[in-house]
Amino acid sequence: MSRGERMHALVQRLYPLCRSITGDGVRDTLAIVGEHLDLTVHEVPTGTQVLDWTVPQEWNIRDAYIARGGERVVDFQELNLHVVGYSVPVDRVMPLEELRGHLHTLPDQPSLVPYRTSYYAPTWGFCLSQDTLLSMPDGDYEVRIDSTLADGSLTYAEHVVRGQVDDEVLISCHVCHPALANDNMAGVAVAVELARSLENPYYTYRFIFAPGTIGAITWLARNDVDKVKHGLVLACAGDRGSLTYKQSRRGNAEIDRVIAHVLRDRPHEIREFSPYGYDERQYCSPGFNLGVGSLTRTPYAGYPDYHTSGDNPDLVAPESLVDTLEACQEAVAILDRNRTYVNLSPYGEPQLGRRGLYSSLGGRSDAHEAQMAMLWVLNMSDGTNDLLAVADKAKLPFTAVAAAADALHAAGLLKD
């Protein structure tokens, strides 16, 4: 199975689980991820204070439906989006009139079921297509949600790939959305594959699989973020759109420059930070202000099927997953190799030919990429420019610039 097929298969397997910000859906999801990666799973008890928030009660659901004459018209077993997330239990017969106040549809997309939650205000509700609603005659309906909302815990997991230094790169994915494929089982699948591909990296890479908002806040509350040097929030990683990068709040963090370099030769869009979207909202809150950007394909709320039953595994393409993965891998390669050097022979050019680093035949007006890369590294390495800045200024591939730095360092012409 190719990488693309493997990632897509994982999306398909994870898709039907009924995740929320707590509960067994998250645990089941992490158990499957744990088949691929060594995970440390954390359970944080209901009531724990996390920054400005409190870990809520745990929600679990077994069944839910709206039925008429025993026949299910809206059935949780068929699609878990049908229940508003965190719905309190209900078991009643009520006329459609009364039921309407608990029903959510998308009149402009009449065949789609919306995704709705109510984590922090106790209520219940159903999501259904407008088409279904219109087909429901007046009269009484059996309405049942077999859920529990009780003290328990919030669950999240970490996978760490130890690097040569303790400084960390965070890769964070939200795992709280129920039957939505691109958002965000696609992000999870790419993160899993990325984690498996890392071998003896320079940085320590920490993968976080946590429910959105409260999960990221919980992680931030329980950890020392000083060692986090860079990070990416991965979401909507598999649709057929081109890559979109949303910059960190800093706008000029190293990760912002790295991703811009990676995307330079791909169709892409780069957006400035805004305080709406995924968990970059938390990582980039002004107190933390981490160098964490967000990589997606079509961005947050950017496609018609977003947060609807249309976001199913068909929306996710194996080749898109691979493209996202490769962009991440290129970013990792640059982050891990990026250094700032100082030219030890900064007065005039050093004689590269004597060291076997320069073509001996003169007069040719072109220069090989390797030679240009060496000249650029020497000229810019005054302690203020990292290799990525050299590559960007020189309009050369980072790999060529890094190879030049290796050669010059080996020749004793550069120091770290």
Interface residues with a copy of itself (CB under 8 A)?
51-53, 85, 114-121, 123, 213, 216-217, 220-221, 249, 274-276, 281-282, 284-289, 300-301, 306-307, 343, 345-351, 353-354, 360-367, 372, 375-376, 378-382, 394
DSSP 291: S
From the CB of 226, what's the least distance to a copy of itself, in Å? 13
From the CB of 190, what's the least distance to a copy of itself, in Å? 21
Please choose, from the candidates 136, 137, 127, 154, the residue with its C-alpha nearest in 3D space to the C-alpha of residue 59. Answer: 154
Residues forming a β-bridge with 209: 157, 173
Residue 115 vs 398, nearer CB to a copy of itself: 115
CB 232 within 8 A of CB 292: yes
Q: From residue 269, how far is each of 112, 256, 295, 296 by CA, in Å? A: 28, 12, 10, 10
Residue 119 vs 202, nearer CB to a copy of itself: 119
Encoded amino acid at 271, one letter: R
Residue 54 vs 135, nearer CB to a copy of itself: 54
Residue 194 vs 236, nearer CB to a copy of itself: 236
DSSP characters over 171-239: EEEE---SS-IIIIIIHHHHHHHHHHH--S-SSEEEEEEE-TTHHHHHHHHHS-GGGEEEEEEE-S-SS
From the CB of 197, what's the least distance to a copy of itself, in Å? 31
From the CB of 7, what's the least distance to a copy of itself, in Å? 25
Please choose, from the candidates 88, 1, 7, the residue with its C-alpha nearest in 3D space to the C-alpha of residue 321. Answer: 7
From the CB of 293, what's the least distance to a copy of itself, in Å? 15
From the CB of 203, what's the least distance to a copy of itself, in Å? 23
Residue 335 vs 391, nearer CB to a copy of itself: 391
Residue 332 vs 396, nearer CB to a copy of itself: 396
Residue 63 vs 382, nearer CB to a copy of itself: 382
| Strand spans (E) along 235-300 | 243-246, 268-271, 292-296
Intra-chain end-to-end CA distance of the chain, in Å: 42
- Rounded CA-CA distance 54/255 in Å is 31
Q: Cα–chain-centroid distance for residue 291?
A: 14
Residue 94 vs 344, nearer CB to a copy of itself: 344
Residue 4 vs 85, nearer CB to a copy of itself: 85
Query: What b/e string do you get for 363-402 counting C-beta neighbours within 10 Å, with b at 16 or more?
Result: eeeeeeebebbbebbbebbeeebbbbbbbbebebebebbb
From the CB of 55, what's the least distance to a copy of itself, in Å? 12
From the CB of 179, what's the least distance to a copy of itself, in Å? 12
From the CB of 220, what's the least distance to a copy of itself, in Å? 6
- Rounded CA-CA distance 56/389 in Å is 45
Q: φ and ψ at 330, to 5 degrees? A: -65, -40
